[in-house]
Amino acid sequence: MIKDNLLYVNEAIQNIKIKNHIEYPISLLAVSKTYPATSVSEAMDAGQVLFGENRVLEAYSKFNDGLIKDRKFDLHIIGHLQRNKVKEAIAIANMIQSIDKIETLIEVEKYCQKINKHIDFLIEVNTSGESQKAGINPESINSFLETIQNQSFTFCKLKGLMTVGPLTDNKNEIRKSFRSLKELFDYCKTQLDNPDFDIVSMGMSNDFELAIAEGSNLLRIGSAIFGRRE
C-alpha cells in the first residue's frame, strides 16, 4: 500500500507541476510520526529516502531500529525542538525545519561543535496568524536574520523557510498563508549572501496542491503516504 501511495503522490506532484508550468524540482518528505519502523522500512523499499518526524525521542528510537538504522536516509525534525532534546535530534537528523528561537539554535550549534557535525536548518514562520502555532512572526524576520548573522554560526547552515498552513477548509486563507511565506522567502533571498538559501517548505497531505502553486519546493506529506493515523 505504501509503495502505491508513494507512486500516487509523486504522480500528483508531477501533474500539479505541469498544470502550473513549474520546472524546478520539488522534494517529497514522508512524515512518519506515529507510524512504526516497519512502515518506514516499507517506504524505503519503495525508494523513499527523505523522512520527517515531529517528536525527537520517537524519531531517535525509530530511526535507530534495526530495520532502519543501517539504511540510507535523510531525516528532518519538523516539530518544535526543545533544548533538552537537542542531543538526540542532532544524533539522527540532517536538518531541523522548526527553528523559531535563537536560544534553541545556539544550543544546536554548541552540540554540533561538540561532536563536529554540520546540520542544516529552516526558520519556521507563523504565516497563518494562529496563536497556537509555533514560528516567528513575519514582521520579526529582519531581526531574526540579523541575530543569526551576528552569532556567526559555523556548524548550523540556514537553508530556507518553513510554515504550517492554517487549520481551515478555506482555500483562500491557505493560499494567503503560503503566498506570504514565498514572498518572505524571496525578500530574505535578497538580504542574504547565501546561495544555499533555497528551500520553501510548505504543504501537507490536505493542501499540497495549493502549496506547489504558491512556490513550495519541499512538501511534508504523511497520511497520504502511510494511511490515516489512529
Domain locations in the chain as residue ranges: 2-224
**27 DSSP β-pair partners:** 218
Q: Cα separation of 209 and 165, whole Å?
A: 12
Categorize the per-residue pLDDT at 128 as very low, low, confident or very high, splitting at 50, 70 and 90.
confident
Q: Which pLDDT score is estimated for 230?
A: 63
Distant-in-sequence, close-in-space partners of 41: CB < 8 Å, separation ≥ 6:
67, 68, 71
Overall pTM > 0.85: yes
Looking at the predicted structure, is the pLDDT value of residue 131 above 80? Answer: no
Question: What pLDDT, on a 0 to 100 scale, did the predictor assign at position 134?
Answer: 87
Question: How confident is the model over 70-114, as pLDDT tens digits?
Answer: 999 999 999 999 999 999 999 999 999 999 999 999 999 999 999
* pLDDT at residue 130, as a whole number: 80
- Tell me the three cell numbers of residue 74: 535523510
Read off the pLDDT band of 229 (50, 70, 90).
confident
* DSSP bridge pairs for 96: 77, 121
User: Closest Cα partner for 103 from 83, 77, 133, 128?
Assistant: 83
Say what the pLDDT of residue 11 is: 98
| Mean pLDDT, range 174-191, rounded to an integer | 96
Place of cell 525508494: 47
| Amino acid at site 199 | I
d(CA 48, CA 3): 9
Residue 126 contacts residue 135 (beta carbons within 8 Å): yes
Q: How many CB atoms lie within 10 A of CB 63?
A: 21
Rounded to an integer, what distance in angstroms lies between the CA atom of residue 176 and that of residue 42?
36
Classified by CATH at the fold level, domain 2-224 comes out as: TIM Barrel (3.20.20)
Tell me the CA end-to-end span of the chain in Å, nearest whole number: 17
Total Cβ atoms within 10 A of residue 186: 11
* CA nearest to 39, candidates 25, 53, 20, 26: 53
